[in-house]
Structure 1
């Protein structure tokens, strides 16, 4: 058995695996893969077997976030849907061996492009093809019939947008480290403009390039979409808006200042929207609302990470700059609502 690993009780976890994971014989070892801008992620090994375990951060939790059982359920449901996911292995609620929820999936071998430096290994044709492949997977997810994969009761699509506006503002009240009038103004404007949902589908809730695992030899081959803890049944255009908002350089401090999603080498937003519309046939309506909502959500997430860092609850490098993102993201959300109009397709590059 390996030495102590913060956030894991390895002896208790070994006993849990011995009861529930077919073929497991131990001993189990673990190392931290990610310090948890959202959750903590570990690589578990036992002989030739490898798994990935995700659990909530060590503290500073916000209601409705960090739901590992929700993540586990959707990964299990999507196994044969055509949406690439890791195979679900085992999960537990807070009464289990770790005292918190956790989910374990098979390790998927591949590459994750997190930074602009890692993106630099691809030529421009590969960058474009990878970005379009991401949109294709998002469109494929939005085409899945929730009832057909056992997720008819996974959420309430009606009222999803109203709940998102309310929920993220409630979380802002819990995590804010300083007063920021732009966040309050953005919330008020979103509440005023909130439309009826454009449709209902499974939404990922955090879809960007560093939340997928790629074939190292072919960056257009997406082997698995990961980080599903914010998945729900909701408006698919919220997913698209979030994917586009992640391209704003204001987001870069959230990922230690160099985020592949914000690289100027990524295709322009209008090209990605064209791809999505062609794949889904969806109209975009007043898309400025969805973009404003995306910025609002990211701003609150950034502030939550910053708050945990100030409390000493983050692990790993690159957390000292996350707080720089909150104000610019909130301002960008207001700008999106004030200045941008959409005709169902066109978006400023």
Structure 2
């Protein structure tokens, strides 16, 4: 039995709910996930699907809502945003101990590291496509795709500051004064929100399936809600290292060179959307701080065994990453 998958019961569910499959299935857990668990299910004739489920324990319902994530992917299937085809949602926890959903496997590769970066000829085109896809996502009218009630939308950053500070207090494994100071500064003056958009929440190359210079699948929608477009942009820019630069917590494949510079990415997005980017440093601080809260929760769940025994991770690296993120957040935070 694959840890996290009841092979026989999931087999029966797949045969009953997804067309044109032939059992038996093999299941392989995809490395790199830090929250929900992802598996590749391969049937007897080689057809591949993706199965997503929450962690094995210490699940926070709102943070690991499979129905919500499935709903977003299914809704965006009719838009220019490249998402895998949604195939089915299982809310019967008797099948494998948790809700799960199934979507198509998308060909391509995920550029997690410099070694996995796109070829030199494709990097600049991919850079532009990253901005174009973000613009396409932010252009989607939520009500037109049935997502008008996905979130409140207004005062996104203010609400996120409140939510993640609560999560920080609940999940933190030690005191980090920089995290508290950044929260104080960000809360003191929140820039006016210019638009309400579908915000991905984790928009970076490590959550994109890529083929040559195009994104073939935008993945990991668990943080998606209605919110502030500049929160997505600030987060992307934090993960978009210039050539030779070190990113604070990601492997930053763009540091290898050949990709567009961070300033170009900002210019392209500004031209594409017409939004005022004068406060982008604030949003970068917010993105570092929020990710520090999220990674502290991941660290806590590793310590509690929520990811099972075969994760192969250096758990202490997560604690160290939170310290670096808090310092980067403080560097970009507005002065008191």
- Give TM-score scaled by structure 2 length: 0.91
Q: 1:138 — aligned with what?
A: 134
Q: CA deviation at 1:207?
A: 0.5
Do structure 1's residue 155 and structure 2's residue 151 form an aligned pair? Answer: yes
Do structure 1's residue 42 and structure 2's residue 39 form an aligned pair? Answer: yes
Q: 1:21 — aligned with what?
A: 18
Q: CA deviation at 1:171?
A: 1.2
Do structure 1's residue 337 and structure 2's residue 333 form an aligned pair? Answer: yes
Q: 2:302 — aligned with what?
A: 309
Instruction: Find the aligned partners of 2:63 and 2:256 in 1 and give their Cα distance.
Output: 28
Instruction: Find the aligned partners of 1:297 and 1:64 in 2 and give their Cα distance.
Output: 16
CA gap of 1:67–1:251, structure 2 versus 1, over 3 A, is farther
Indicate if the aligned counterparts of 1:193 and 1:289 stay in contact, CA closer than 8 A: no
Other structure's SS at 1:187 match:
helix
Q: 1:235 — aligned with what?
A: 228
1:24-78 CA distance string (max 9 Å, x none): 3422221111253122110001123210011112223345322221111111011
Q: 2:194 — aligned with what?
A: 198
Q: 1:185 — aligned with what?
A: 181
Instruction: Find the aligned partners of 1:297 and 1:263 in 2 and give their Cα distance.
Output: 26
How many residues are treated as equivalent by the alignment? 328
Indicate if the aligned counterparts of 2:17 and 2:88 stay in contact, CA closer than 8 A: yes
| Greater shift in the superposed pair: 61-70 or 7-16 | 61-70
1:250-297 CA distance string (max 9 Å, x none): 533xx5xx4425556543321110011111122224222211110111
Indicate if the aligned counterparts of 2:124 and 2:260 stay in contact, CA closer than 8 A: yes
Other structure's SS at 2:30 match:
strand
What is the Cα-based RMSD across aligned positions, in Å? 2.1
Indicate if the aligned counterparts of 1:36 and 1:57 stay in contact, CA closer than 8 A: no
1:101-155 CA distance string (max 9 Å, x none): 2121011111111111122x622x5322212211111011101111111111111
CA gap of 1:165–1:174, structure 2 versus 1, over 3 A, is same
What are structure 1's unaligned runs of at least 5 residues? Answer: 340-349
Other structure's SS at 2:112 match:
coil
Instruction: Find the aligned partners of 1:305 and 1:151 in 2 and give their Cα distance.
Output: 28
Q: 1:342 — aligned with what?
A: none
- Give TM-score scaled by structure 1 length: 0.87
Instruction: Find the aligned partners of 1:8 and 1:178 in 2 and give their Cα distance.
Output: 33
2:124 to 125, 128, 144: 128
CA gap of 1:35–1:126, structure 2 versus 1, over 3 A, is closer
Summarize the alignment of residues 1-349 of structure 1 with structure 2, pairs less than 5 Å apart: 4-34=1-31, 36-48=33-45, 49-62=47-60, 64-93=62-91, 95-119=93-117, 122-123=119-120, 125-215=121-211, 218=212, 220-247=213-240, 249-252=246-249, 258-260=251-253, 266-314=259-307, 315-320=310-315, 321-338=317-334
Instruction: Find the aligned partners of 2:281 and 2:90 in 1 and give their Cα distance.
Output: 39
Other structure's SS at 2:236 match:
helix
Q: CA deviation at 1:195?
A: 2.9
Other structure's SS at 1:251 match:
coil
Instruction: Find the aligned partners of 2:62 and 2:129 in 1 and give their Cα distance.
Output: 30
What are structure 2's unaligned runs of at least 5 residues? Answer: none
Indicate if the aligned counterparts of 2:182 and 2:289 stay in contact, CA closer than 8 A: yes
Indicate if the aligned counterparts of 1:247 and 1:263 stay in contact, CA closer than 8 A: no
